[in-house]
Structure 1
Amino acid sequence: MPLVNAGLVVLDCAEPEKLAEFYKELLQAEETDASANRVEIRGADGFRMAFRRDGNATPPSWPRPENAFQAHVDFVADDLDGVERKVVALGGRPLDTKDAAGPYEERGYADPAGHSFTVRRHTSSAPKQG
């Protein structure tokens, strides 16, 4: 039995309800708990996130060095173009969309509150051939 079990990713933000809605739509998640200062969601795959109200929250500034990253979440998807359209439609914005096509392609985005996240192409878990 582990000493510590995995919990969930918590992002501080000024408006947790709005940020939770962004991630609920992106991840096709459901709200599991909410209070005046915190909203929790769980995706269909069991991934859990929470959004905590912080009136002094400042968005990360990645890729600039001041206030960089703070937190970083990686998601995996097969259709990166489809994910990008969804992120933008929900109010997110691209941060790093370099042309890095191939099995390890990844793209960086910011959610509406400025938190950065990466979407990586889903890679096969099959052993390398040759």
Structure 2
Amino acid sequence: MLMTLTAVTLDCADPLALADFYHRATGLPLHERSDAEFAGLARGPGASGLFLGFQRADDYRPPSWPGQDVPQQLHLDFVVDDLDEAATRLVEWGATVPDFQPRPDLWRVVLDPAGHPFCLTLPRRPEA
């Protein structure tokens, strides 16, 4: 059996605001059926594309980083060409960069406006 990942959905307090942040960060278009309860970004039609969803959760509490008082539950990784430039742009759009960075030379931990941690990584270089 082969499974194909088609969607990832994050809990949050404001789905439209979080969808707007990730739209700016990824360029994925806002799904036409987005509303205050559930918003999404989609690349490609049907199961062949990726859907990134944001669902409103009552009493949402953002994950803690690096502690685990409120577990992360999951995090996303994004490849970027320049860690500093990407982090700066994301902060302009509402993200924060926590002080604790396990390997700032290889990746950066960033918190989206709802507090979800995600990582920015550099493209893998072919081994010689």
Which of the five TM-score ranges fits, normalised by the shorter chain?
A: 0.7 to 0.9
State the shift of 1:86 in Å: 1.0
TM-score, structure 1 as length reference: 0.83
CA distance in 1, matches of 2:104, 2:97: 14
The answer (yes or no) to whether the contact 1:27–1:43 under 8 Å persists in 2 is no
Query: CA-to-partner distance for each residue in 1:43-85, whole Å, 9 max, x for gaps?
Result: 58x5431000112211000211211212211111111111111
Assess if the C-alpha contact under 8 Å between 1:16 and 1:51 holds in 2. Answer: yes
Matched position secondary structure for 1:25 = helix
C-alpha deviation, 1:36, in angstroms:
4.1
Out of 84, 87, 97, the position equivalent to 2:87 is 84
My pick for the range that moved more, 33-42 or 113-122, is 33-42
Question: CA-to-partner distance for each residue in 1:82-104, whole Å, 9 max, x for gaps?
Answer: 11111100010002446642xxx
More strand, by proportion: 1
Matched with 1:117 is 118
2:10 corresponds to: 11
Aligned to 2:41: 41
Query: 4+ residue runs of structure 1 moved beyond 4 angstroms?
Result: none
What amino acid does structure 1 have at the position aligned with 2:54?
F
Instruction: Tell me the CA shift for residue 42 of structure 1.
Output: 2.5
Taking structure 2 as the reference length, the TM-score comes to: 0.84
CA separation of 1:86 and 1:17: change in aligned 2, threshold 3 A: same
For these two proteins, the number of residue pairs brought into alignment is 122
**Bigger mean CA deviation after superposition, 30-39 or 84-93:** 30-39
Letter in 2 for 1:9: V
- Residue pair 1:24, 1:43 contacting (<8 A) in 2 also: no
Tell me if structure 1 keeps the 8 A contact 2:14–2:36.
Answer: no
Instruction: Classify 1:36/1:94 alpha carbon distance in 2 versus 1 (closer, same or farther; 3 Å).
Output: closer
Query: What SS class does the counterpart of residue 62 from structure 2 fall into?
Result: coil
